[in-house]
Amino acid sequence: MFSPEIREALVSAYSSMAAMSLWEVAAVALALAYLLLAMRENILCWYAAFASTAIYLFLFWDVSLVMESALQIFYLLIAVYGWWQWRKGKTDSEKMHIHRWSVTTHLYTFAAVGLLTLVFGYVLDNYTSAALPYLDSFTTWGAVVTTYMVTRKVLENWLYWIVIDGAAIYLYIDRELYLTALLFVLYVILVIIGFFQWYALYRQQNLTADPRSMANAHAHAG
């Protein structure tokens, strides 16, 4: 029915898709492991993040998500930085604890991400063939800031991720990365759980740090 050349092209295309799908499965599994470990404040999360990122670097480039591909280079570096930050403390008193940013800091962050999204979205839209340039830029710069927040154990990082991951779902569906889109649907659910887990740890840390608060808590419990 098909000429040898067409059959060869079809077989080659199928093999490429199958190989890509297997790589995507590996990247998704490692990315999910990263999130689950991060929710538990387990330093092994950064190893999983590094491996997943290395795979996604090539996957995103292959589907013309230029900013998402560039983001993976940042992720490789931030995975090393996050691992170093989380392992610095040798005693409980030296370990980094979960903390919150001020409202002013959040407002500056929103403004910075918005400006970077507009600037890079414009550049990509006019000078490259990047797909969905503004959405690609938003998820990229939002992820840059939020990943830094994770390395510093800022509580609100989970709330940022809800917005960024939600936007990324549409981005990946458009690029036919359906497994990755499904991962991000799961991410949205898990980051909500992660927020409440970290919030409980944050309150516990504050009670431990303030003996008077601990005494009051015991008094109320009694």
Query: Span 189-213, mean pLDDT?
Result: 84
Residue 5's pLDDT is 46
Query: Span 94-123, mean pLDDT?
Result: 93
pLDDT, tens digit, for every residue of 164-193? 999 999 988 988 888 778 888 988 999 999
Calculate the average pLDDT of the chain. Answer: 82
Domain that holds residue 132: 4-221
Residue 209's pLDDT is 64
Asked if pLDDT for residue 101 goes beyond 90, the answer is yes
**Residue 147, token pair as written in the block:** 């990943």
Residue 84's pLDDT is 92
* End-to-end Cα distance, the chain: 82
Give the model's confidence band at 88: pLDDT under 50 very low, under 70 low, under 90 confident, else very high: confident
Give the model's confidence band at 87: pLDDT under 50 very low, under 70 low, under 90 confident, else very high: confident
**Residue 90, token pair as written in the block:** 């040798």
> Among 19-23, 30-34, 117-121, 209-213, which is the least confidently predicted range?
209-213
pLDDT, tens digit, for every residue of 125-139? 998 888 889 998 999
Distances (CA, A) of 139 to 12, 112, 121, 123, 160: 33, 13, 11, 16, 11
Helices (H), 152-177: 157-174
Asked if pLDDT for residue 143 goes beyond 60, the answer is yes
Residue 12's pLDDT is 45
Q: Cβ distance 137 to 120 under 8 Å? A: yes
Return the sign of the alpha-carbon dihedral for residues 200, 205, 208, 214: negative
Tell me what percent of the residues of the chain surpass a pLDDT of 90: 48
Tell me what percent of the residues of the chain surpass a pLDDT of 70: 82
Return the sign of the alpha-carbon dihedral for residues 87, 91, 93, 97: positive
Look at the chain and report how many structural domains it folds into: 1
Residue 217's pLDDT is 41
Cβ of 10: how many Cβ atoms within 10 Å? 11
pLDDT, tens digit, for every residue of 67-83? 778 878 988 999 999 99
Residue 94's pLDDT is 54
pLDDT, tens digit, for every residue of 36-50? 999 888 999 999 999
